[in-house]
Amino acid sequence: MNKSQLIDAIAEYADLTKADAGRALDGFLETVKSALSDPSDGSVALVGFGTFAVKERAERKGRNPQTGEEITIKAAKIPSFKAGKTLKDAVN
């Protein structure tokens, strides 16, 4: 499912116009992005659905695939999602 299909599904489910559903989805995405980038928050927990969080990835060694030369890949913060029990049960 892509973004426009998701907007269509939200609009149908919530009896909204596609424009309103699109703004609601954009608002949700911006709020999650803002919460994850805020060091004091760092996560968004939706009970039953899952938790969006930021994880630290340590510096590590890698190889340049073209030259075979060893390189250092720097440490980074990465977004992650851990599914909640209700979502896991719905999928299985």
Does residue 41 carry a pLDDT above 80?
no
For tokens 């009970």, the residue is: 47
Phi, psi of 73 (to 5 degrees): -95, 120
Average pLDDT, the chain: 94
For residues 19-43, average pLDDT: 92
Q: In this structure, what token pair is assigned to residue 92? A: 């299985």
Q: Is pLDDT of 20 > 90?
A: yes
The fold adopted by the segment(s) 42-92 is HU Protein; Chain A (4.10.520)
Question: What are the pLDDT digits (tens) for 82-92?
Answer: 999 999 999 99
Averaged pLDDT, 67-72: 94
Q: Which pTM was predicted?
A: 0.77
When pLDDT is averaged across residues 64-90 and rounded to a whole number, the result is 94
- Number of other residues whose CB lies within 10 A of the CB of residue 21: 20
